[in-house]
Amino acid sequence: MAAPNIALRAVRTGMRMSQDDFARALQAAGHRVGEPNDANKRLVQRWESGAITAPRPVYARALEVVTGLPISLLGFAAVPGEHVIDDERGGHDLTSPLSSLATPTLTAKPATVHGSYEGVWLSRYQYYSSGRGDSFAGQHFVVMLQHGERLTVRSLPGSAASSLSMDLTVDGAVVTGTWVEQTDPAGYYRGARYHGAIQLLAEPTGRRMAGKWVGFGKDMDVNTGPWELVFQDASTSKATLDRYNTSVT
């Protein structure tokens, strides 16, 4: 009997999506990245039950876009260097660039020369708290995935008490998109959800992006402040993400 994919189910339920909702999100993601797919509730059920051990490439990419996580962390079976694909349309092999990356240390490394921004980054932003009359900084280690010109950014849960996500589009050196932060339920903002827009300029080295965020405050005023992303590591393997899944100091 196949082992159920507990990791995928946990991610889906953590996003508060039904299997139908998740399938629709996968279809929408496919259209956004120019790779339409036929995801449906039955396919999600087969993934979660373990009847399908790994998705075809078109679904793997959509899963990464929707969840913001590398396919290697979504509970699918794989052998070193490749994913074994088995879905309703037949079997294919997909070489995985994620599993072939060596596990690095926490020392920052140069960005890849081909312009990929995929990897682990340190996110830092500053904001002014009118209630406390002072400026503060928010910091997270985030994993960035790239599909063409689209970047999906999700914070590692152990790196901060709040959770952060960004959906960005790259146009040359200009990176534009939206951000969402779910604040710490036990913190000053008591789990409030904030969101807004962001625009960054990527340095030629590919190791840093810096710019401004804009968003609303608790009194419905519009605020802005600096934001930067600093490259840490090109790997998105589980071992690497485990290393960075710790509080930013």
Mind listing the pLDDT tens digit for each residue in 22-80?
999 999 989 888 899 999 999 999 999 999 998 999 999 999 989 988 888 899 875 33
Report the range of poorest mean pLDDT among 66-80, 102-116, 138-152, 223-237: 102-116
Does 86 score more than 60 pLDDT? no
The pLDDT score that the predictor gives to residue 78 is 57
Q: How far apart are CA 208 and CA 228, in angstroms?
A: 7
> How many H helices and E strands in the chain?
5, 11
Q: How far apart are CA 175 and CA 119, in angstroms?
A: 16
